[in-house]
Structure 1
Amino acid sequence: MRLLCHCGTLRQAARAITSLYDAQLAKHGIRITQYTILATLGRAEGVSTSQLADDLLMDQTTLSRTLATLRTKGLVEADVGDDLRMRFWSLTPNGSELLRACESDWRAAQDELYRRAGKRHVKALDAQIYDLASKLIED
């Protein structure tokens, strides 16, 4: 069903794309939301919860719940900062290993999305959505 609401339409697309990635990552026991956090930490370890939330445009409460799940699975760890309320997150060796193991399946999801929607179209849409998000968070 085509919606009149731009937000609703974007959420429909996000759910459809999420299911494509989740299907590829299922054999590893993680979802794309968890993979994205692992991949982000794989590029910049020792990231505070608030910085990670800002980078991912995520609510801190939702991020904290997901990080707790990843910590329970032994994939991430947190160091306490000078302020005992601050946590600085990084991958554990198991988290790094899982991230490497998932890469080919993540790439397969990317390729499937390109195949279904057209690589040029997906890349253009990605750039437009990123620009839109950047403009909205500036305010």
Structure 2
Amino acid sequence: MKDKTIDYILRATWQAVSRMYNEEAAKYGATMATGFALLSMDREEGTPSTALGPKMGMEATSLTRTLKSMEEKGLIERRPNPEDGRGVLIYLTDFGREKRELSRNTVLKFNEVVRQKVGDEKLRHFAEVAEVVNELIQEKNIFNTTELNNEKKY
């Protein structure tokens, strides 16, 4: 691990987690994106479709395909937003709530196994490091430093 870059570790780990979730979801005819969408929706009140993309960090075209597939499988239904006639609210069906619970249990199982293996203290440190990385990126403090800006252009 010593000679691997931070971004390599993050990317390789996320790819492994993603592959694991997709393999588990495939057992139920689903995908990780479907499970994530189910978990990102309000169970009872409905969720504005425009709020899902940012909440999930998903591009609109990918989200549209995911929602269409979920609707075809009977996991969700779309209804006009009574407070904004231009908007749509996404509601979980009974089947969607059932699959949401399955997704929730899958995520909780993953978290519990990792927590047992790693321990709470190391997980806290991991979360702290991830938070710092996210803050540096959000604040654009990686490539916008004075030292880099003073470098000669190619």
Q: Does 45-54 or 22-31 show the bigger shift? A: 22-31
8 Å contact from structure 1 (residues 77, 89) kept in 2: yes
Q: How high is the sequence identity, in percent, across the aligned residues?
A: 21
> Gaps (5+ residues) in structure 2?
141-154
8 Å contact from structure 1 (residues 28, 98) kept in 2: no
1:112 is the counterpart of 2:105: no
Q: Whose helix proportion is higher, 1 or 2? A: 1
Q: TM-score, normalised by structure 2?
A: 0.67
CA separation in 1, counterparts of 2:91 and 2:128?
A: 28
CA separation in 2, counterparts of 1:110 and 1:24?
A: 15
Residue 14 of structure 1, CA deviation: 0.8
1:91 is the counterpart of 2:104: no
CA separation in 2, counterparts of 1:96 and 1:125?
A: 31
Alpha-carbon distance change, 57 to 128 in structure 1, aligned in 2, over 3 angstroms: farther
Q: Which has the larger radius of gyration?
A: 2
RMSD: 3.0
Alpha-carbon distance change, 131 to 4 in structure 1, aligned in 2, over 3 angstroms: closer
CA separation in 2, counterparts of 1:134 and 1:52?
A: 22
> Gaps (5+ residues) in structure 1?
none
- Kindly report which structure 2 residues correspond to 1:47-126, keeping only aligned pairs within 5 A, or say none: 47-81=47-81, 82-83=85-86, 86-126=87-127
- AA aligned to 1:97 is E
Alpha-carbon distance change, 28 to 131 in structure 1, aligned in 2, over 3 angstroms: farther
Alpha-carbon distance change, 138 to 41 in structure 1, aligned in 2, over 3 angstroms: farther
Residue 137 of structure 1, CA deviation: 4.7
Q: TM-score, normalised by structure 1?
A: 0.73
8 Å contact from structure 1 (residues 24, 106) kept in 2: no
